[in-house]
Amino acid sequence: MYKNKKITLFSHLLTWVVLFSMPYILSYEKQDINRVIAHFWIPIFFYAVLFYSNFFLWIDKFLFAKKTVQFIVINIGLIALFMTLKEQIESVYFEEFLRKKADKNEGGGPPFSLFIYVQTLSYIAPLLFSIAIKATKRWAKTEAERKEATTIKLQSELQHLRYQIQPHFFFNSLNNIYSLVDISPEQAKTTIHSLSKLMRYLLYDTNTEMISLSKEIEFIKKYISLMELRLTDNTVIHTRFPAKNTEVKIVPLLFISLIENAFKHGVSSQHKSDIEFEMYIDNDILYFTSKNDNYPKEQSDKSGSGIGLQNLEKRLQLLYPNKHQFTTNVVNNQFVARLEIHL
């Protein structure tokens, strides 16, 4: 920021040095410095005062505060003052030069009204320039603040969605452990140990914006193994995960909701159940498909409230806008969820 201020200051100084130098450099009467001072340096000095007084004071205080009348009156007063001062300075300090010029151009000078009109326009130019720069800076600042507010809101919403995943995941896992306590205490102990490893991943490894696909696949496999501990032979699980190109970066915990959903709604204690997970990468697109037999939960069963899938859809909209496709449907009594992500 300090560097930007130095660059701005230098550019302003350079601009005024050039403006003050050009009339003298381009003058055909280089020996007559009075001409340059009277007709160029004095007006340029007043232009600078008009420009910076508006830039630092009047535009913020009056124009942006919607006190337009006061702003116009002040600038009309300043322009009139500078035009009067210019004439007074010229008449006092450059009387001889002006007399010679008048004698030289006798009878050929412009009408007084045209002279005033041209002088007024010359002062309006730096005024309009200061308004344009100030308005542009204000717009840029407002736009930056708007983007920052949007970013903060997005980060807050994503953080909220991520915090939803962890207790939701933990709740489902505890339900599985609870069902094992009476049936198989040893398996329950093993499950708690496996759960602690998964929770470590949730708490520490997923605190980054992106994570390698290989770590996410490892987490998914451990979670599936955890779920298998309580399943009977009636449930068959098929998995297929990529062995190559797994170092690509993705947002963590994108697939866990689909996998949880498959185990929650795809397992029956009385009927044969098939669950299938498939993931592959083709042409920089990640494809994930989850299939399970459809055994809908009862309305009173809160575990079937669908928080996980709602969470996933919101995260996809925020993190992969226009770069994903997510569909769910029931085909032949099988619930099928398909997710495509453009990496």
Residue 121 lies in a domain: no
Same structural domain, 195 and 81? no
CA 35, CA 97: separation in Å to the nearest integer? 8
Structural domain includes residue 132: no
Give first-to-last CA distance, the chain, whole Å.
34
Q: What's the pLDDT score for residue 257?
A: 85
Same-domain status, 69 and 212: no
Same domain? For 326 and 188 the reply is yes
Q: Note whether 35 and 182 are same-domain residues.
A: no
The CA distance from 235 to 266, in Å, is 9
Mean pLDDT of the chain: 78
Q: Are residues 161 and 104 in the same domain?
A: no
In a domain, 133, yes or no: no
Q: 207: helix, coil or strand? A: coil
CATH number at residue 188: 3.30.565.10
Same structural domain, 33 and 162 = no
Q: What is the pLDDT of residue 214?
A: 92
Q: Kindly state whether residues 96 and 30 are assigned to the same domain.
A: yes
Query: What single DSSP character describes residue 241?
Result: -
What's residue 177's pLDDT? 73
Instruction: Return the bridge partners of 249, or none.
Output: 212
Positions of the chain with pLDDT lower than 70, given as ranges? 1-8, 10-11, 14-16, 18-39, 92-117, 149-169, 171-172, 176, 179-180, 297-307
> Does residue 127 sit within a domain?
no
Domain presence at residue 146: no
- Give the pLDDT score at 74: 93
**Same-domain check for residues 188 and 300:** yes
C-beta of residue 169 within 8 angstroms of C-beta of residue 226: no
Based on the domain organization, do 161 and 294 belong to the same domain?
yes
**DSSP code, position 339:** E
Instruction: Supply the pLDDT for residue 275.
Output: 93
Q: Report, in angstroms and rounded to the nearest whole number, the Rg of the chain calculated over CA atoms.
A: 38
**267 and 230 in contact (C-beta within 8 Å)?**
no
Q: What residues are paired with 236 via a beta bridge?
A: 274
174 belongs to a structural domain: yes
CB 45 within 8 A of CB 89: no
Instruction: Find residue 328's DSSP bridge partners.
Output: 337
Query: Residue 64 is part of which domain span?
Result: 2-109
Question: Is residue 223 exposed (0-12), middle (13-18) or buried (19+ Cβ within 10 Å)?
Answer: buried
* Residues 20 and 41 sit within 8 Å (Cβ to Cβ): yes
Q: Are 234 and 272 in contact (CB under 8 A)?
A: yes
- Residue 58 within any structural domain of the chain: yes
**270-300 tens-digit pLDDT:** 788 899 999 999 989 999 999 999 887 665 5
Inside any domain, residue 82: yes
Q: 302 and 171 in one domain?
A: yes
Residues in Cβ contact with 163 at an 8 Å cutoff, skipping those fewer than 6 apart: none
Per-residue model confidence as pLDDT tens digits over 65-94: 889 999 999 999 998 998 888 888 877 666
Are the C-beta atoms of residues 233 and 261 closer than 8 Å to each other? no
In order, the DSSP letters of 78-107 are HHHHHHHHHHHHHHHHSHHHHHHHHHHTTT
Give CA–CA dist 145/10, Å, rounded.
26
Specify whether 104 is located in the same domain as 168: no
Taking the CA atoms of residue 83, residue 88, residue 93 and residue 99 in that order, the dihedral angle to the nearest 10 degrees is 90
Q: Tell me the C-alpha to C-alpha distance, in Å, between residue 84 and each of 81, 91, 167.
A: 5, 11, 77
The pLDDT value given to residue 13: 73
Contact of 240 with 280, CB cutoff 8 Å: yes
pLDDT of residue 304: 46
In what helix (H) or strand (E) does residue 187 lie, and over which residues does it extend?
Answer: helix 185-200
The domain tally of the chain equals 2
* Lookup: tokens for 177: 């452990």
Q: Give me the DSSP letters along 251-310.
A: -TTSSHHHHHHHHHHS--SSS-EEEEEEEEEETTEEEEEEEEE--PPPTT-GGGS-HHHH
Look at residues 18, 19, 24, 52 and name the one whose alpha carbon lies nearest to residue 37: 24
For the beta carbon of residue 168, count every other beta carbon within 10 angstroms: 18
Same domain, 173 and 57: no
